[in-house]
Amino acid sequence: TYAGGQRYSSGWTGDNIASWEHLWLANIQCQRLSISGFSFIGSDIGGFVDQPSGELYARWIALGAFHPFFRTHSSGDHGDQEPWSFGEPFTSLVRSFIELRYQLLPYMYTTFWQYSTHGTPMLRPLTFLDQNDPETYLRMAEFSLGDNLLVCPITQAGVDGRWMYLPKGHWYYYWTDELKAGGAEVWASADLTRIPLFIKAGAVVPMQPIMQYVGEKAVEELTLHVYYKAGTAESVLYDDGGEGYAYQQGQQTTRYFTVVGNASTLTLGQRTEGDYPPSYATYRVVLHGLPAAPLVASADGQPVALGTCPATETTVAAPALTVNVSLKELTIEFGLALVTSAGVV
């Protein structure tokens, strides 16, 4: 590309081959391009040359769902390579990761905004996260997407998990809400329904409803996944019209979330800058990793009914509640200790 190309264009890692080695390479190449200024990057999912197996294709889709530029692509000379080309169970596996990406688009859009306004890489190698930890220096598989998601793809055939390194702090395994301490190597169980994915403790991760394409329907309620932390953590959510240039005239809103946790309460605070009106009027707040069962909740001093976000085929149930988007402060008070697969949290 030409100097300055990162300002306007997307990119990919070149015409690759349908092999496990090139899936491994795609992960490394995208990280290095991102940290070199080209964050709107991805790979030819499944390989440009030759035809992947269903397993390789599903693992590649799982990684690609966390890359800024996400597409399947091939020369067309080696058979079909559409998401439905490999039959079951791969069609359903691929669909689930595509749907997860669509749910994460508010988070990814915010990460694009951080890249556009501050130059912060969207894909961040472990050394970017903690340069003072020598264990991060030679690690190439793990990366964060934005501030709060830590990803480590499966790049070998026939395995059901992998070892990976967690940087300092505490991390929740997305699929089970199991809490792990950072600064250590951990085993991440991941059959074909999963990719090793951890969420930073204290994070607020926004998700929208599943859609078939961007803008298929207005988002009527935004889900905020809040991950408990003993202490204080901050997250950000950027929003604008999604197309056009009105954001340059101030039609945008940035929402800053603060999570404060202790032994008896969790508090979620919100501060906003800008006056862009979102399409959604409410937040569905889902609470992960609470140290004890929630008893009562209040939003801006008013009581709020507690409910449950049900389990899915790949994720666990969690307490949840609904609040107005104009929320200033949400407080959750705890009761008896919760026991998880990791013990008492």
- DSSP 8-state class, residue 305: -
Domain 204-344 has CATH 3.60.150.10: no
Q: How confident is the model at residue 281 (pLDDT cuts 50, 70, 90)?
A: very high
pLDDT at 341: 42
Domain boundaries, the chain: 5-113, 123-200, 204-344
CA atoms lying within 13 Å on the CB side of residue 152: 23
Q: Which of 242, 269, 267, 236 is closest to 254 using CA atoms?
A: 236
pLDDT per residue as tens digits for the range 92-121: 999 999 999 999 999 999 999 999 999 999
CATH of 123-200, one of 2.60.40.1180, 3.40.190.10, 2.30.110.10, 2.40.30.30: 2.60.40.1180
SS3 call for 21: helix
Compute φ and ψ for 199, nearest 5 degrees.
-115, 135
> What is the average per-residue pLDDT within 179-193?
98
Q: Which of 83, 86, 80 is closest to 71 using CA atoms?
A: 83
Calpha distance 290→35 (Å, rounded): 34
pLDDT at 340: 46
Q: Which of 181, 165, 177 is closest to 125 using CA atoms?
A: 165
Task: Please indicate whether the domains covering 123-200 and 204-344 agree at the CATH topology level.
Answer: yes
pLDDT per residue as tens digits for the range 325-338: 999 999 999 975 54
Whether the per-residue pLDDT at 43 is higher than 60: the answer is: yes
What's the gap between Cα 4 and its chain centre? 28
> What is the average per-residue pLDDT within 71-80?
84
